[in-house]
Chain A
Amino acid sequence: MSEIAAAVKGNGKSLKELDRAVIRFAGDSGDGMQLTGEQFTTESAWAGNDVATLPNFPAEIRAPAGTLFGVSSFQLQFGSHRVYTPGDRLDCLVAMNPAALKVHLHDLKTGGLLIVNTPAFDKRNLDKAGYAANPLDAPALGERYRLHKVDMTGLTHEAIKDLPLNTKEKDRTKNFFALGLVSWIYTRPLEPTLEWIGKKFAKNKDVATANTRVLKAGHAYGETAEIFNEHYTVEAAEMVPGLYRAMTGNRALAWGILAAAQRSKVPVVYGAYPITPASDILHELALHKRFRVRTIQAEDEIAAVSAAIGASFGGAIGVTGSSGPGIALKAEAIGLAVMAELPLVVFDIQRGGPSTGLPTKTEQADLLQAVYGRNSESPVVVLAPATPGDCFYVAYEAVRIAAKYMVPVLVLSDGFLANGSEPWLIPEPETLPPIDVQFRTDADGFFPYLRDPATLARPWVRPGTPGLEHRIGGIEKQDVTGNISYDADNHDHMVRTRAEKVRRVAQEIAPTTIQGPGTGDVLVVGWGSTYGAITAAVERAQAAGRSVGSIHLRHLNPLPPDLGHILREYRRVLVPEINSGQLVRMLRAEYLVDAVGFNRVRGLPLASDEIHEAITQLLESQA
């Protein structure tokens, strides 16, 4: 925490100005930590800060109370400058029970604020968390951290003792006490939360009143209790002027599809089978029937992609979404779309694997599956968004490319982008590139595999068009005529043609932006959700005078045409990924550069500190 200035306010408590802070709310799955974090995020966005969030919750729906694996947490970083990540080390940890303390304490900075709910530290909860003795009684805790033991449960009950709610219902409001208290500590406005409570519990006045009172009680407690002698303010960030909203990656993908449906004037069919962390895309799209988006909750992953392909054959935009295990099941059908040369958009919201793996945790280990993971030569376009808000543009672009080139486009998001949110500058939809879908209706000279000379796309024909009746399918076809062909030379020609068609998507790629000098010692190359951590690490290294640059790839297949040249302008290339080295393998194979990986596969986003350290080590090793 860098402290810029200090002031003293009328209540005798000093107000310190910070440029950024990292906070984590942690508690039982039932303690409402996700909600608390989301509301604190909204308050921070209202305060004009840039924000990045990291929700982290167990896969179990109602994990047993008090257990270590049942801990749910929400971390965010907010700042007066651009915030790229949810932060590495915590400035403040709110632990609602012993399990939360045990799981998260090691991330708190020495001297950091530690706020605990004391009544939760009873024998039963201590046993469940594996504490032999109450850690709050150990003097070391208070010496190492600024420990605040608060009877949140008791103060909550006291604030609403006259309301006709039962003990359990009253208990459930204590997260608002925590929210009120931390809102005071960081001078967040309560208005957005008060408004939210009013709307959310409009039909249940007692609960609305209880939450409101408890929120204010927490806030007042911070202001008046003797134990908090200072609090903090974080100035509004200098952000691009405009209208903002909070955006999560999954919602942004869904809205990108809606924007594409409206712009192309073509209906969308979204086929999906529920799977974490992709289900919210289905939920979101199902809300927006007015955009002519038709959602199918299919019987399985294969049916989901098959329905999308059937829709594309019918002249709609077929889209499917899943996570890694589901994408594996869809592989054969994606191959059909490659062969039939139909547009198809596939969202892969990556999670920890293999197999069921870590359903609610993030990973970047499906890159090779996306690029190469089908039988035979079956090239597809692969895109990856860098931030939650970027998901909107990437989904839109995926539809545009799929329709223009008649190819499947895979989009690699991940659990971190899917559930994480950021303040997002709302775009003007008309500034998005046009999606110009031309269905062939002219029967004159028609063949199903005639090709556009620029894109090599074959014509897209809606069944129902007279005179253009034709048959396509998964069997190899003669180019142009589309007749079944087992001819050796035709197959070789078609393999090359399908590859060339994907390769030509490179003409859509804008020149690569290099963060930093065009030439130097170390180039950090990333893709997907590591954008924030890499950018923060590289900016830090640059501020220290290091000759370091970074690029972030949105196009993973085909790769940007200028990439080979850029890689050679640096002495070393570092590729941080949340996998055991997938992009680095592709870059080494494609460009014969001696790129090295930085790889951690822990189900968590990479920390900018560790990337910074990897940069430093690479610089020193070559010195």
Chain B
Amino acid sequence: MIGVRLPTVLRPFAGGAERVEVEARSVAEAFAALDAPLRRRLTDEQGAIRRHVNIYLGDDNIRDLDGLGTPLDDGDELLILPSVAGG
């Protein structure tokens, strides 16, 4: 199982959960396994990760790995964080 840890603002889209678990072998598969209202807030309708959303695997931003294609192993944890943006 893959753990996906959510920031407070996204928890209403996961039934209030701080962390959800999905079966996946890549970040793309992990996102595909999320409930649609949560998934849509992380990726746009073409499947691209939203510009100001950061997803970390350990200390690495997946943009610095293989993006949505980044492979995952059982027990991995993804951390979703909003970037520092806006005013």
Q: Do A and B come from one complex?
A: no
Q: Please list the residues of chain B having a beta carbon within 8 angstroms of any beta carbon in chain A.
A: none
Q: Please list the residues of chain A having a beta carbon within 8 angstroms of any beta carbon in chain B.
A: none
